Structure 1
Amino acid sequence: MATTEKNIPYSVLELATVAAGSTPGDALKNSLELARKAEEMGYTRFWLAEHHNMVSIASSATSVLISYIAAGTKKIKVGSGGIMLPNHSPLIVAEQFGTLGALFPDRIDLGLGRAPGTDQVTAHAIRSDRMQSVYKFPEEVSQIQQYFSPDNRAAQVRATVAEGVGVPIYILGSSTDSAYLAAEKGLPYAFASHFAPGQLFEALSIYYNNFKPSEYLQEPYTIACINVIAAETDQEAERISTSLIRMMFGVLTGNLDYLQAPTDMTPDLRELLQNPAFERMLKYAFIGSKETVKEKTEAFIQETGVNEVMVVSHIYDQQDRVNSYRIFSEIMQRR
């Protein structure tokens, strides 16, 4: 679906990446600094992921981290990208996000996904019956909606802190399954094209063609996530991106490690980039100078027609990371 050039919201997906030589505490403090900078730069949302048993990612207790970020900022929307619902009780999710919504009115988003956010062994340790919950994902989303509804006051089981609190729900997906659900329930839909781009267009088509207006949303609303590493020159961005390449290699080989410092691009790393698995995963990794990233981002927006772009940036140095987000904000503000 093509779109005419216009200003669209741009947001951040944060994983609180832990760089080699630092601690999870350092990563969390860096997340807050980035959120404050993103707020100044005009970013609409700052979403926190949920991952477990990964040394390079500190975003695991997502609702706790959302509270930390929201308390340290003033107006940017803060949310989950997402809460992996099969890991949790719908009642507890409603209570947690009802509390957040009461503390930070009109600033909290609840993005819900069904993936584990980890390996299967760890997923079993989180919740041994999670596969039953995976199959009941649509029903559990409905449960959360009911807990937030003022009409739930007469129910036997209540999340009293959530009733009537305005926390919008977003359905997250990396395949076509959740597109059907988001469309059926009339909810906004966010797609993880930053690591699973293969079914992006099919999922968007399903969502647009099957969307049913609801009390929550009258027209379809889509968010797509991209990787961005922007720097002053293409060469500098390429150098910074070697940290991402090594991280992705660890993901693909199951050899996860802390985010490594960048190096000069080597023939081995260039060969990795030509690997089909790498090419698929990093299809929407926009790396380069402002002009290079602008050109790629513009093409992405025109081709997908999404309503909002969400950016994730795995960058070793915090100042390089802040600079990358600054460059991207300038691109989006000048569209």
Structure 2
Amino acid sequence: MGDNNRREFLKKATLATAAVAAAGTVVAPAVQAAEKKYQWKMVTTWPPHFPVLGEGADKLAEMINKMSGGRLTVQVYGGGELVPALQAFDAVSQGMVEMGHGAAYYWAGKIPAAQFFAAVPFGMNAQGMNAWIYTGGGQELWDELYAPFNLKPMPAGNTGVQMGGWFNREIKSIADFKGLKMRIPGLGGKVLAKAGGTAILSPGGEIYTNLERGVIDATEWVGPYNDYKMGFYKVAKYYYYPGWHEPGTVLETFINKKAYEALPVDLQEIVKRAAEASNLWMLCESETKNPLYLDKLVNEEGVKLRKFPDDVIHALRGYSKEVLDEVVAKDPMSKKVYASFSKFQKQHDAWGEISEVALAEMAK
């Protein structure tokens, strides 16, 4: 081998050795990261494994476990199993556990603007809420709202249009709300108070007993499937619709921000996609089961299905506007969030009139 060839050979060998060494420095951390295991706990506001809501939390954890190949495992605890149901927010915020599952209006006492990320009386349906949060600027506002509490929120379910609730008296006029004690959270509860009733917040596991014992006169919960499983038809006479207070209720997962940011990027993405899949599953499950169980309630259990009178809905709409004006006036962040929400709803409703509504009227 000549001198020139020898020098060329040595040069290539040196470059090849350097490339292998460089590749090693890149690959080794990736391999090391792939082998690291993360074990999280999720606390929920729902009874353990509760139909649709609790099942949604279970499925979210299951999907994360599967998609991560076991690198990130999530153990789910129902309300009261690890912490009381309505203390889930604090438990995740403080880092006692990594993840929670519930509804944002439960935290209205801490964050008034959180209510807009669950349900707004006479607000948007599930389709509109998803559009606003995912692609209409809602998620960015939600992130900003929860950041001071060390939390990362995401949609993780939707119940669709809810029912108006179970009552032990007929609602013939707005005057029938006076003195009514009703389990109803969020902005809807404030509207009830405007109408002369008393809003009571309690977790799902306590509702049946409170209704049976007369602690409350009425309750809203979700829809026919969930309500049937709760057995409300055994302790209340009248079942009202529509759910003016919750036209498209978002369920959330909220994650300890430090724990989330400590995950590798691919595991963060898995958590996001699992939450999206859970959101879709819950809405589909609700839409599938609700008509079947409404039929059972009416035709097998003899439930008295009633529609709220038009003048009652008109009055509730007026009270809703008053409540929203008051919330926005008191809280700058609520003002900011509601500006985005209301602008998006106007656009969504205008499009809906010539798409969904027009199609429904044509099909009659």
User: Is the TM-score greater than 0.5?
Assistant: no
Larger Rg: 2
Given the two structures, how large is their TM-score scaled by the length of structure 1?
Answer: 0.26
The normalised TM-score by structure 2 is 0.25
